[in-house]
Amino acid sequence: MASWKTFFDNRKNEYTSNPFWDDINNDHAFTDSTTDNLENLVKHLNKRKLTNYLNRIAKKGIPWEKTYSDDKSFKEVKIAIEALNELGLKKAFLATMADLEWVPTMVNARHFFYSEFVFNELGNHGNKPIRVLEIGGGSGTLSILLRRKLEISNYIDVDFPEMCIVNYYEQRRFLEKNHINFVSQFRGSDESTAINKENDKKLVTYLEPKYFFENYAQLGSFDLILNTHSFQEMDLAIRNRYIDTCCNLLASDGVFFNVNWEHKKMSNRDGTLFDNNPLEYPYPPNVKITKLREDEISKLMRVNRNFKRRTISYTTVIRKDRDWFSKILRFKFQVSR
């Protein structure tokens, strides 16, 4: 097995569609990492052109409106900003994008709204260091925005290897190198590092789904658990397993926030279809739904577009049901009588 540095040194001219490979190759987070499927990983990254997920860096002296050459994308971001204006968040959003040096997009506008929503849901809990678990963290936009408002002691992202690397590329602008940790199958099966309290010094940790399910019992509890628009893309059994696991990992006073579109004809891996409906997600009895409604920003964007979408996006907030055990005892007592 070759190291990252050796691998990329041997292929400098072979893969060019993702311009940040050289930067990643020179980062210490990868110098001691070994794997036997790097070539497949890089080919997959380049094939899917995952650089499209990255936030665009604003050019100094050029208004962000002038950076758009695609009329469709420009129309989308204007609609998103109009929605934020109705929610009273336009000024704060544009100021945040300028501070981060990001070009405003529909995606980061939506995630800015989610970051504000989550912060408000946490209430006083947001005044102390918290542990965050995100399923399908994508490019890391939501976690970066949340870190501006919250003290996050440990952020764990569970995603496919290629998306973990994209997420890492975004995070590295805002964190020291030694605050990022990869624990995954592609890093070598001998590295069975447990993510527990000793690893809280690592601000960002990446886990592959397989490793997550095999080791979630070692992770401890989380004050905040996130999922935005990825439960909607999963096989029924896998989605249900994530939901159950997340609810079990939720701290007693934690918040589990998820927002997903309904897909009435979602396909399982075997080709069968099912209604992937957030209103019917199978939450276990030890939690309770405290909020369930149509996603506000998506609703406003849909209305402002004057276009009726075939599906609706729902926001769900889950908390631990502190009375669930006493409810079970009362039920058993009633049955025994």
Q: How confident is the model over 307-319, as pLDDT tens digits?
A: 455 578 999 999 9
> For the segment 204-233, what is each residue's pLDDT rounded down to a tens digit?
888 888 889 988 988 899 999 999 999 998
Residue 327 has pLDDT above 80, yes or no: no
What local confidence, expressed as pLDDT, does residue 333 receive?
40
The residue among 276, 275, 293, 271 whose CA lies nearest residue 232 is 276
Phi/psi at 276 (nearest 5 deg)? -85, 85
Phi/psi at 153 (nearest 5 deg)? -80, -30
If one counts every other C-beta atom within 10 angstroms of the C-beta of residue 285, the result is 11
Distance CA 50, CA 243 (A): 26
Q: Are residues 300 and 199 in the same domain?
A: yes
Examine residue 248 and state whether it is found in any structural domain, yes or no. yes
183-205: average pLDDT: 51
Examine residue 252 and state whether it is found in any structural domain, yes or no. yes
Q: Are residues 186 and 39 in the same domain?
A: no
The residue ranking higher by pLDDT, 168 or 87, is 87
What local confidence, expressed as pLDDT, does residue 57 receive?
84
Q: Give the 3-state secondary structure percentages of the chain, helix then strand then coil, rounded to 5.
A: 50, 20, 30
Distance CA 168, CA 24 (A): 9
Q: Is 177 helix (H, G, I), strand (E, B) or coil?
A: helix
Examine residue 68 and state whether it is found in any structural domain, yes or no. no
Examine residue 268 and state whether it is found in any structural domain, yes or no. yes
Cα-based distances in Å from 303 to 11, 117, 193, 297: 49, 20, 48, 10
Residue 177 is part of a domain; what is its CATH number? 3.40.50.150
The residue ranking higher by pLDDT, 190 or 7, is 7
- Please report how the helices 71-86 and 90-100 are oriented relative to each other, as an axis angle in degrees rounded to 10: 130
What local confidence, expressed as pLDDT, does residue 99 receive?
95
Examine residue 234 and state whether it is found in any structural domain, yes or no. yes
Q: Are residues 203 and 291 in the same domain?
A: yes
Q: Are strands 250-261 and 222-228 parallel, antiparallel or unpaired?
A: parallel
What local confidence, expressed as pLDDT, does residue 221 receive?
94
DSSP string covering 14-55: T--SSTTHHHHHTSHHHHT-EES-HHHHHHHHHHHTGGGGSP
Give the total residue count for the chain: 337
Residue 15 has pLDDT above 50, yes or no: no
With the C-alpha atoms ordered 44, 48, 49, 53, is the resulting torsion angle positive or negative? negative
Examine residue 13 and state whether it is found in any structural domain, yes or no. yes
Q: How confident is the model at residue 106 (pLDDT cuts 50, 70, 90)?
A: very high
Q: Are residues 19 and 135 in the same domain?
A: no
Distance CA 167, CA 141 (A): 8
- Work out how many domains the chain is built from and give that number: 2
Q: What angle do CA 75, 19, 64 make, to 5 degrees?
A: 30
Phi/psi at 268 (nearest 5 deg)? -75, 170
Q: Are residues 136 and 24 in the same domain?
A: no
Distance CA 80, CA 298 (A): 8
Q: Would you call 58 exposed, middle or buried from its count of C-beta atoms within 10 A (0-12, 13-18, 19+)?
A: middle
Average pLDDT, the chain: 78
Distance CA 289, CA 311 (A): 21
The residue ranking higher by pLDDT, 189 or 123, is 123
> For the segment 154-178, what is each residue's pLDDT rounded down to a tens digit?
899 998 877 887 787 788 788 876 6
Q: Are residues 279 and 142 in the same domain?
A: yes
4-18, 151-165, 268-282 — which is least confidently predicted? 4-18
H helix runs in 140-295, sequence order: 141-147, 161-171, 209-215, 236-249
Task: Give residue 267's identity as a one-letter amino acid code.
Answer: S
> For the segment 27-83, what is each residue's pLDDT rounded down to a tens digit?
434 433 434 444 555 555 555 556 667 788 888 888 999 888 878 889 889 999 999
Q: Are residues 137 and 282 in the same domain?
A: yes
Examine residue 82 and state whether it is found in any structural domain, yes or no. no
Q: Are residues 179 and 311 in the same domain?
A: yes
> Edge-to-edge strand order for the sheet containing 130-135?
180-183, 204-207, 152-158, 130-135, 222-228, 250-261, 313-320, 287-294
Examine residue 1 and state whether it is found in any structural domain, yes or no. yes
Q: Are residues 214 and 326 in the same domain?
A: yes
What local confidence, expressed as pLDDT, does residue 50 receive?
60
Beta-ladder partners of 154: 131
Q: Are residues 293 and 166 in the same domain?
A: yes
| Domain carrying residue 282 | 128-336
Distance CA 91, CA 68 (A): 20
Residue 297 has pLDDT above 50, yes or no: yes
